[in-house]
Structure formats: C-alpha cells, structure tokens
Amino acid sequence: MSVDRSGPLRIEVEDDPTPIVLILAATLRRSARQPKLAAAMAKAKGNVAMKSSVDPQAATIRFARGTITVVRGVASDAHVIIEADVNKMADENPPKPKVSGIAGHVRLALLASKVLEPPNAGWRNEATAFFAPTFANPKAPRGVSVTCLNDASTQTFGDPDTIEYEIHGTEHALLNVFCGNTVLGQDLLDGKIRAVGSLPHLAELTGRSIAVMLGA
C-alpha cells in the first residue's frame, strides 16, 4: 500500500492501484495543500464512492479522521455515491453528476464536492509547477511557449531563446492540462488545444501530463 506522509494527512492507496484510484488520490493531495480543506479532511469520517456513468471505472474514498484511503470499486458501505461522466468532468460546463446518500450525510457530501475540485493557482503558476522537472529530461523540448487565447498573452518556460514547442489554448483548457485534469495529447486530438512542434516532444510532454494526473 502506498502512503503519502508529506502533510498533516495520511493519504493511502491500495496495492496495485487502478488509474482512477491514483487520479483521485492525486486530487486529494492537491486539496490537502489548502490548510482549510486539509483541516476538514482530517476531521471527516465516512466513505464516498466515485462511479463512472460511461464505463466500469469506480473507486471509494475512505475518510477516517486523519487517514484517507482510496480503493477500487464502489464499496458496499459507501455513504455517498457520485456517478458522473468521467469523460466530461473537465469540460467548462460539465453535466451535473448524480449523487445519492446526501440526505443522511450532508457534511460528507459537501466535503467531497470541495475536495474533488481543488482550488488552483491559475494556469501560469500551474504551468510553472508542471514544467519544473521537465527540462531535466534531454528528450524534452528546451523551451516551450504557452499562449492563452482568452487574452492572447504568452509565457515561456525553459530556454526562452530556444522555443521548440508551442501550446495554444483557452485559460480553461490550459489549466486542465497543467493541473493534471486532462492529458495533453488527448486534448490535442480532441481539438481542445493547439500545438506546434515535433511528435517526440509531444510524446514527452504528454508523458509529463499523465504523470501529473496520476500524482507522480
């Protein structure tokens, strides 16, 4: 079992975790960086299940007053069950999830809604954290420029004199990629972002985005 002991909470995942387990654990760790959310998570007691409405993916988050464990599947003792289209959760206007168990567990459901959508630091700060370990990889582009289509602003990362890859997207799309909500390569294929650069560099940056999503 993997355990995160880096903060005031213990966040654990089952042995040989599935992708959705790792993704939820990474999301919880992001929420735990916020002192108020971390304090609320540390006091919580109860089980919240997240279930995909479009495929078999499912996981249960067990809050146990200071220890949080994420395991695969919908546990039989889940107090709150959230069912959502996992392919559209990162959309700008996602469909509302179906939530059961709210009546008897209002506080738990409210906490779940907050920690599953952790606050962000804005796309520029999230991009800075995203790219921080990237340029140590010799296969990665030496410099990357990112343009936000909302205001046509551009920020460079790495070597500003050697821009080998460009990423263009709306603030929402860029934030999704750099926070780990979506995968760069998939967003490019879906037309959510545009990019200019080589396929090897795309592969390296997509690998980085997958690592962020899974909490690596």
pLDDT (tens, 9 = 90+) of the chain, 216 residues, equals 544 444 568 999 999 999 999 999 999 999 999 999 999 999 999 999 999 999 999 999 999 999 999 999 999 999 999 999 988 888 888 889 999 999 999 999 999 999 999 988 899 999 999 999 999 999 999 999 999 999 999 999 999 999 999 999 999 999 999 999 999 999 999 999 999 999 999 999 999 999 999 987
In this structure, the answer to whether residues 137 and 99 fall within a common structural domain is no
In this structure, the answer to whether residues 136 and 90 fall within a common structural domain is no
Both tokens of 107, joined, read 């506080």
In this structure, the answer to whether residues 53 and 111 fall within a common structural domain is yes
In this structure, the answer to whether residues 167 and 135 fall within a common structural domain is yes
In this structure, the answer to whether residues 6 and 91 fall within a common structural domain is yes
**CATH number of domain containing 131:** 3.30.1050.10
43, 111 contact by CB (below 8 A): no
Both tokens of 11, joined, read 């966040």
Secondary structure (H, E, C), the chain: CEEECCCCCEEEECCCCCHHHHHHHHHHHHHHCCHHHHHHHHHCEEEEEEEECCCCCEEEEEEECCEEEEEECCCCCCCEEEEECCCCCCCCCCCCCEEECCCCCHHHHHHHHHHCCCCCCCHHHHHHHHHCCHHHCCCCCCEEEEEECCCCEEEEEECCCCCCEEEEECHHHHHHHHHCCCCHHHHHHCCCEEEEECHHHHHHHHHHHHHHHCCC
Q: Give the C-alpha distances (Å, rounded to integers) separating 61 from 68, 145, 199.
A: 7, 37, 37
- Helix 35-43 and helix 106-115: axis angle, to 10°? 140
**CATH number of domain containing 108:** 3.30.1050
In this structure, the answer to whether residues 52 and 130 fall within a common structural domain is no
In this structure, the answer to whether residues 95 and 139 fall within a common structural domain is no
In this structure, the answer to whether residues 8 and 60 fall within a common structural domain is yes
Distance CA 40, CA 54 (A): 31
Last-in-domain residue among 94, 115, 136: 115
- Domain extent at residue 45: 2-115
In this structure, the answer to whether residues 105 and 155 fall within a common structural domain is no
Report pLDDT for 177: 96
Report pLDDT for 93: 86
Report pLDDT for 5: 43
In this structure, the answer to whether residues 17 and 102 fall within a common structural domain is yes
Distance CA 19, CA 21 (A): 5
